[in-house]
Every structure is written in C-alpha cells, then in structure tokens.
Amino acid sequence: MIQKQVLALCLKNNFWKEARYVLNEQMFPKELSTIYLTITSAHEKYESDLSVKELLEIHRDKYPALPTLTKNTIEEVILSLNDIDIPKDEIAKDLLLNLWRRNKAREIGEKSIEIFTGKKDANFQELQKIVVDALEIDKLDNSQTYTNVVQDLDEMLNSKEEEFEFKFGLPSLERRVEGLSRGNFGILLARPEVGKTTFACFLASQYLKQGKKVVYWANEEPAVRIKLRIVQSLLGKTKDEIKKTLPKCKEEYEKIKDLLVVHDCVGTYVSEIQDYATTFKPDVMFLDQLDKVKITGEYNRTDEKLKEVYVQTREICKRAKCLIWAVSQASYEAEGREKVDYSMLDNSRTGKAGEADIIIGIGMDDSDACAGGKRKFYISKNKINGDHSSFDCIMNHRRGVFDDDDGS
C-alpha cells in the first residue's frame, strides 16, 4: 500500500520536512490518518527521526480513548512499518507524487459529482482550484527542490548587506532587527483598530522608497483605500494635505507608481497567490488578512486549516524569493493589552507561529489616557537575530506614519 510506504518514509525527519508541503491527513485512509498526524506532531516537537517503537508510544499518548478494535488495527499498521523497505530517494519522490495525484484525482471526482448531481453549495470555482493545484505539483517532478550554496568565507562574510536588504524605516525597530531578507516570512499581529494595517501600509511605503516592487493583497478594506493609505504613508500627509499640494504629491507618486500593486483578494486561494508570485516576481508581498485566504482540501479544525495556509505561504517566500508579511488578528486575550505575543494569534495553537521568521505584536493600553497614538511593539518571535524586546512608538493614523517615542 503506497500510503504505508509514505508513512514509513515520513519517520525520517528530513523526508517529512520536504513531504509536509504536499501531504495532509486526507490523503490517508481513516485508520492511517491518525498515524500521519502523530508523525507530524512528533517531528514538530522533537525535530528528529522516529523509530516505530517511539511512534507507537506517542500515538498511544495522543489518542488514549480509541475503541479497542480501532486501537488494535492502528497499532498493527504501525508495527508493520518495521517490515517496509525504505526506497531510494528518487523512488521515494515518485511515491509521494503518486500519492498526491491519487488524492487530487479523488478530490476532483468527488467535487465533479457534487456539481453534476446539483448538490447544494457545490462550487465550480472550487473544482477549478483543485485542478490548478493538482497541475502545480508537476513542477516538483521536473525540478530540483533544493539549492546547494557554495561560497568561500569572504563571500559569506560580505553577504550581510544583501541579507538585510529590506529596511523597516523605523529607527527603534532597526536598532533591534537590522532588516529582513528574501525568503523571510513575518506576521504582524494586533486586535482590531489598533494599527496593524496602518503599520503594514507604513512598511509598504518604506519598501517603495527603497525601490522594491510591492504587492498588497487586501481582503479587509477595498484595494483603492489601501493604495491611498500606502501613498499617504509614503508622503506623510493626510488626504486633505495631499489635495492642497496635489501637483507636488503627483510628482512623488509617479516615482513609485509602477512599483506598487494592490489587489482585492476576497475569495482568493493560496495557489493563486503562489502563481502570481512565481510569474511576476515581486520583492515584497503583504497578505491582509492571511487567515481569510482560501485553500483546497477538507480540514476537521480551523487551526489545522490555517496552519496549512501558513505552511504554503512560507513555501511561496522560498520559491518566489520574496519577503512576505501576513497581517493577522489577535485573539480576545490581547484586548486592551500593551504586550501582544504570538500565543495570542487567533484560531491557532502553534501552527501559524511555527512558520514565521519574525512576529511583531502591536498593543495598546485602553486605560492609558494618552493611548490614542501610542503603541507598544513586541518582537515575540525572532529567528533573525534573537532579539525579543519591546518598544514604544507614536502612530499618526491620519498620515499613516510611525515615529520613535522618546526614550524607546
């Protein structure tokens, strides 16, 4: 059985790290899906190879209340993984691709039947997305998915300037994190009306000043509104101030007009964003809000679905060699709090946060009489240089700009 062969391969941490981008629990029969979920959670926690004995113990701990017959069947499958010969790399890759294609064929067939029989809520667009997704995997079949970096010591030591090519434009943040690089994935996190979209627009304006091609995917506010907010941040002016100095503002806007694209993305799928990124090759993309971007497949829980959205988005960063910022909602736990950390990501356990290189929470204290423009920034995750400090900034919402707070 091909699914059992893939499960045996996934016991190796390195194989699982590559395979997780194309695998999900729906690819396995019911009695095998819990085994795959156990392997996934174990690799995420321990980041090492698993033995069959370890898998058995972890599965028993993860699913203690299974009916006896189901438990015995699953444990028999786990023990049988000892008897499976591990194929060579090329054969393993073929097995993975064949499993993917079988699953996509099943999804296409089921969705086609729903549409053909007139099932309520059957959506032809969803069928199109599954077909596009199925065709996308063929890119893996004909191309190497890894890059061997060969550099001498001088080259590595001198690569810092390129590594941090994306500057924040906010001194208090740059004192803590010098900048970001292509392939990085960041999350901006806050409660509603605190300033996460304002800060995203501010960052977009700073990247435009650096000559970067910026794409903003908007599914909260209309695209035209987001575009104006980015331009306001760029110019540091309110809408009325722009009107009063329109000729000069038009001149400044012309300098960056061709670098900025803003899309309305209500109903957009992750696969569409990936296709766009690999075709048009932007330097930076903002996904506001990433949680609302759609994905094919069926998921039992919201956090599982969102984790897969974030996994695939991180993969876009790597494949398209661009920086991506996801704008995400904080849970109610963050309401009225200055220090917002990644444990407060809405509808998430650890999956969303696990994919990010940097997570910046934006908070404000409702009890502070001066909180109108004052915001607390907290770097709660930082794989760039490990700094996890917090600092204060002053937000001018009408102009869309952020300045250092004295003493930050």
**pLDDT the model gives residue 24:** 77
Distance of alpha carbon 20 from alpha carbon 309, whole angstroms: 12
| Nearest Cα to Cα of residue 313 among 351, 340, 368, 280 | 351
User: How far separated are the first and last CA of the chain, in Å rounded?
Assistant: 60
pLDDT at position 118 is: 83
Most confident stretch, 129-143, 200-214, 261-275 = 200-214
| pLDDT at res. 155 | 64
Specify the long-range contacts of residues 403-408, CB closer than 8 Å, at least 24 apart: 404/170, 404/171, 404/172, 405/172, 405/374, 408/172
Token code pair at residue 277 = 């990124």
- Which of 106-120, 331-345, 389-403 is modeled with the greatest confidence? 389-403
pTM over 0.85: no
Q: What is the mean pLDDT of residues 304-315?
A: 91
- Band of residue 161 on the pLDDT scale cut at 50, 70, 90: very low
> 126 falls in which pLDDT band (50, 70, 90)?
confident
Residue 59 one-letter amino acid = H
* Separation CA 243–CA 240 (nearest Å): 5
Cα distances (Å, whole numbers) of residue 170 to 56, 188, 270, 382:
50, 15, 30, 17
Among the residue ranges 221-230, 292-301, 377-386, the one predicted with the least confidence is 292-301
Give 80's pLDDT tier (boundaries 50, 70, 90). Answer: very high
Instruction: Give the single-character DSSP code of 180.
Output: B
Ranking 86-95, 228-237, 298-307 by mean pLDDT, the lowest is 86-95
CA separation for the pair 34, 40 (Å, rounded): 10
Which residues have a Cβ under 8 Å from the Cβ of 123 and sit 6 or more positions away?
A: 115
- Section 115-126 average pLDDT: 77
Position 407 scores a pLDDT of 52
The percent of residues above 70 in pLDDT, for the chain, comes to 88
**Exposed e or buried b per residue across 273-287, where buried means at least 16 C-beta atoms within 10 angstroms of its C-beta:** bbebbeeeebbbbbb
Q: What is the pLDDT of residue 185?
A: 97
Contact 384, 357 (CB under 8 A): yes
pLDDT given for residue 145 in this prediction: 46
pLDDT tens per residue, range 189-208: 999 989 999 999 999 999 99
**Residue 144: pLDDT band by 50, 70, 90 thresholds?**
very low
Quote the DSSP letter at residue 291. G
Confidence of residue 2 (pLDDT cuts 50, 70, 90): confident
What are the C-alpha distances in Å from 368 to residues 92, 163, 172, 365?
Answer: 59, 39, 22, 5
Length reported for the chain = 408
Q: What is the mean pLDDT of residues 144-151?
A: 50
Query: How much is the mean pLDDT over the chain?
Result: 86
Model confidence at 159, pLDDT cuts 50, 70, 90, reads low
Report the distance separating Cα 309 and Cα 294, nearest Å.
8
Residue 406 is predicted with a pLDDT of 63
Q: What is the pLDDT of residue 173?
A: 96
Task: Give the Cβ contact number of residue 293 at 10 Å.
Answer: 25
Q: What average pLDDT does range 50-60 have in this prediction? A: 93
Decide if pLDDT at 52 tops 60: yes
